[in-house]
Amino acid sequence: MFYRKLFNRNKAKSYIWIGFFAIIAIFPLFAGETRYVPLLVTIGLNTIIALGLVVLFGYSGQLSLGHATFVGVSAYITAYLSTALHVPTILSLLAGVSGALLVGLIVSPILRLKRFYFTISTIALNLVFFSLWKGLPLTGRSMGINGVPPFSLGIITFNNILDYYYLAWALVALSMWITGNVINSQFGRGLRVLSQDDASAQVVGINVTYSKIKAFLFSVALAGLSGAVGAHYLRLVVPDMFTFSYSIGYIIMAIIGGVQSVWGVLLGSMLLTYITEAFQVFVRFRDIFYGLALIIVLIYVPSGLIGILQFLPARFRLATSTADFNPVKEKNPMQKESISLKQQNNVEPVLEVEGLSKNFGGVQAVSDLNFSVRCGQIKGILGPNGAGKTTIFNLISGLMTPSRGKIVFKGQDITRYPPHAVARQGIARTFQVIRPLADLSVFENALLGWERWFKVGFHDIMINSPKIRRQEAEARRCASENIELVGLKGTEAKMFAKLPVGQQKLNQIARALTFDPDLLLLDEPAGGLNDTEIKNLAELLRTLVKRGVCILLVEHNVNLVMSICDEILVLDFGEKIAEGTPKEIRSNPKVKAAYLGE
Amino acid sequence: MELLIQLILGGISTGSIYGLIAIGYNVVYNSSRMVNFSQGEFFTFGAMLVLTFTGGLASSAALAHLPLPILPLVIAILISVMATVLLALAAERLVFRRALKFSPFAASNASFGMIFLLQGVYQLIFGRDYYFTSSFMKFQVQFMGATLASQAVLVLLTAIGIVLILWAYFFRTSQGLAMRAGAENPDAARILGISTTNLVRLSFIIASVIGALAGIVIAPMVILGYDSGLAMTLKAFAAAILGGLGNVFGAMVGGIVLGLMEALAGGYISTLYKDAIVFSLLILILLYRPTGIFGKSA
């Protein structure tokens, strides 16, 4: 009993923290003024940069090969302000970080660029700044800025190497803690999803653009912090400190260790910095080594480190396990409110679709479609392959823009809303073709739906504030309830990607339920399920309707649709050919002709 | 006016080099849908080898210690081009073919690593010195009051020659037809018995020959070093995007447009920031004109 208590996961974590930083704190007592102390300062400063890149590349999948730019921008600003204008160093340091953030914000449109287009622009950015620093008289051309004053906080001046040692490692501890909070939050989960599939992130209400910008600026801020401290530590700033080569080095540090834990990043930067600094011979082979490391990693995990996770057994993974999961027996007030709202609006149509059309080139996928969905209703959409069923879902959820027509949800025209905004109005959906979410566990996937209810700022995420912990506990409770509801209890820690298709579909429903939607769009939920599972599904859908969720269902399984739907819409070649109760549909001659082939 | 003509002529000649390398991008892209960002490294390899074989390498370089004969220029060029082809084939066989099994995206990303790997190798064998090499021939051409140096004339002639040969290859040979078919519709080409792997290998051969020749003829007009390829890679990529990625001959137009912009920026703003301007331009083109001059706007 005692043994188990001692090795409780969270406690083990804090022992590692305390143990490691205690060693760091007393290390100089033994090492004295040896070369290890300056080496560790460099390691610390590199670690801070690499931590930011773990969020940017490891989680959001954006490969930047130009982060030395932001290290440099910040270093030059603080060096110039404190040297030429004698600004107090604490202010110039803050100005440096803000300057890096400003440059980051200005260039943030490059986040719109996909894949290697983003990477190549970060390289270009690095070269632009490099040639500016080399050319501008203001930055001292190739000579750079010399005689940068030491960092000082009021009366304390950091003169000694040891002062910088402790400063750097205090910042490392802080950055590690903050980065850990960011990657283990709902925000971090969201990044992992969008790095693999934009649409999956959008349909739970994640604003992909903003999330990418946040991750980018986070990495820029850490790079800037390290650059500014480095300028005062080295007392000089020259263009050669911020070349493309360094950018690659930072990425490799992040790659070597930063799979999922901030400790890995620390290890990576220790290893790489030590090898580069300690063995001068290695310098000659450095680029070859960097090149090989990049090639290998980028071939096998092109979309961020998170891809490595699929090769790891579940027990090596942190955030996926339910070990940290403490159920809280507290009802979510928001949830109650939304349910009662649903019951009130029982008669009103929740969703109204008017004259909806979509053509792809000359092909009319959906034409002039009108229908509505009322609360407490399951509405089914039937139609042969290519009748435009999935297109309707894509139009409603904003993944496609209609050519003509109007979509009104809860009295609001959502026709031109981007997908994440549609979701935030209260529409959840599942996909017919399972989207690739290689590294998410069943539990995490269900948790993702809670995005709609997270009401936190980025500062809450960074410090893991009580507010966010409360909401996270609530999310975990809700996700775990919904996993049980769809019948996936016991599979929480399994990888979503490794489930059979039927269970993946149920997991998607669990995610949609955690979202607590007003309208649920289900795209072929019964595909890949066996008869028992289909019966359970039908039962589940009935339960949901009783709870006040309205459901729009696209399904091939005619029996299922006939047995659970209140109303059915039949499509053929994008046009409505019939609408009515199952009984009416069954006897409709048009339907028989088009759909049943009679 | 004379300055303007001078700049325009200079812009066209360096621009045609960007165009040549951009053609290399496109040929590889068309056969494999990957963007080979180590394209500029073929350029460095060719140019540095010619320097080596003509005895121009500094004594600090490892290769300078080998008892290599000093060869006549034409033979040095031939050998260098062949060696570059071998290098490209090795890169294709050992790295890109594996990466392409995953996806063109993985292969494009891996080519970023290839930049570093090759630059590391170049540092070891060619050293870290930078060179100003002399022109192949000594003559000048006068044109509307502007002077065109002999090397610029050679560059233009090479570019025109390569484009003509490529045109004949793509439109007058059955192999060229197969390459165009593969670019148009890889699956259909495969069904008709055209091996995609062979096409990719072929495209790397073409790209490396063009890259090496481009490097060799432009070398006397630039500062040459182990890392010269990176700037070329970026500029040629900008040219390829301007001409429309995949549009082989559009790349030449893109290259010349970029070369002109660079020359004019250098002449009227400042040569110091020439690179900064061109690289900013690359970012702007990617953001606002990703389909190129001939494509529809974004």
B253 touches chain A (CB under 8 A): no
Is A122 in the B-facing interface, judged by CB distances under 8 Å?
A: no
pLDDT in tens, A372-409: 888 778 898 888 777 788 888 899 999 998 888 889 89
- Torsion angles phi and psi, residue A413, rounded to 5: -80, 110
Helix, strand, coil percentages, rounded to 5, for chain A? 60, 10, 25
* Contact flag B124-A63 (C-beta cutoff 8 Å): no
| Cα B140 from Cα B148, distance rounded (Å) | 6
Task: Judge whether residue B261 has pLDDT over 80.
Answer: yes
Same-domain check for residues A476 and A532? yes
* Minimum distance, in Å, between the CA of residue B180 and any CA atom of chain A: 25
| Residue A360 sits in the same domain as residue A250 | no
State the complex-level ipTM.
Answer: 0.90
pLDDT the model gives residue A326: 44
Decide if A342 is inside a domain. Answer: no
Residue A106 lies in a domain: yes
Position with higher pLDDT, A44 vs A259: A44
Helices (H) then strands (E): counts for chain A:
24, 12
The most confident of the ranges A464-473, B159-168, B269-278 is B159-168
Q: What is the pLDDT of residues A416-458, one digit of tens each?
A: 899 999 898 888 888 887 776 767 888 888 888 888 888 888 9
What is the predicted pLDDT for the residue at A306? 52
- A36 has a pLDDT exceeding 70: yes
Across the range B183-192, mean pLDDT stands at 82
Cβ–Cβ of B230/A244 closer than 8 Å?
Answer: yes
Does residue A75 share a domain with residue A14?
Answer: no
One domain for residues A505 and A382: yes
Using the Cα atoms of residue B161, residue B164, residue B168 and residue B169 in order, give the sign of their dihedral: positive
On whether both A5 and A131 belong to a single domain, the answer is no
Model confidence at A245, in pLDDT bands (50, 70, 90)? confident
User: B222-250 burial, b if ≥16 CB within 10 A, otherwise e?
Assistant: bebbbbbbbbbbbbbbbbbbbbbbbbbeb
Which residues of chain A are within 8 Å of residue B117 when distances are taken between CB atoms? Answer: 287-288, 291-292, 295
* Residue A321 included in any domain: no
The mean per-residue pLDDT over the stretch B283-291 comes to 91
Domain identity same for A19 and A127:
no
Domain count, chain A: 3
Using a CB–CB cutoff of 8 Å, tell me whether B120 touches chain A. Answer: yes
Residues A233 and A368 in one domain: no
Query: Averaging pLDDT over each range in A310-319, A446-455, B151-160, which range is the top one?
Result: B151-160
CATH number, domain of A563, equals 3.40.50.300
Domain ranges of chain B: 2-288
Is position A335 within any domain?
A: no
Domain that holds residue A6: 1-31
Determine whether domain B2-288 maps to CATH 3.30.1490: no
Cβ separation A294–B113 shorter than 8 A = yes
SS3 category, A384:
coil
Both A17 and A50 in a single domain? no
Contact in structure between B49 and B64 (CB atoms under 8 Å):
no
The neighbour count for residue A359, using CB atoms within 10 Å, is 14
State mean pLDDT over A262-280: 83
Asked if B270 reaches chain A (Cβ–Cβ under 8 Å), the answer is yes
Q: Do A302 and B37 touch (CB under 8 A)?
A: no
Share of chain A above pLDDT 70, in %: 89
Is A132 within 8 Å of chain B by CB?
A: yes
Q: Are residues A196 and A278 in the same domain?
A: yes
Confidence (pLDDT) at A547: 81
A272 found inside a domain: yes
What does pTM read for this prediction?
0.90
Put simply, the answer to whether A120 touches B234 (Cβ < 8 Å) is yes
Q: Cβ of B65: how many Cβ atoms within 10 Å? A: 10
**Residue A224 covered by a domain:** yes
Q: Which residues of B touch A302 (CB under 8 A)?
A: 102-103, 105-106, 109
Rounded Cα distance between A167 and B288, Å, is 43
- Pairing status of strand A567-572 against strand A378-382: parallel
Cβ–Cβ of A110/B290 closer than 8 Å? Answer: no
Q: Are residues A75 and A12 in the same domain?
A: no
What local confidence, expressed as pLDDT, does residue A595 receive? 64
Whether residue A358 sits in one domain with residue A271:
no
> Residue range A222-234: average pLDDT?
97
Distance CA(B159)–CA(B12), nearest Å, equals: 10
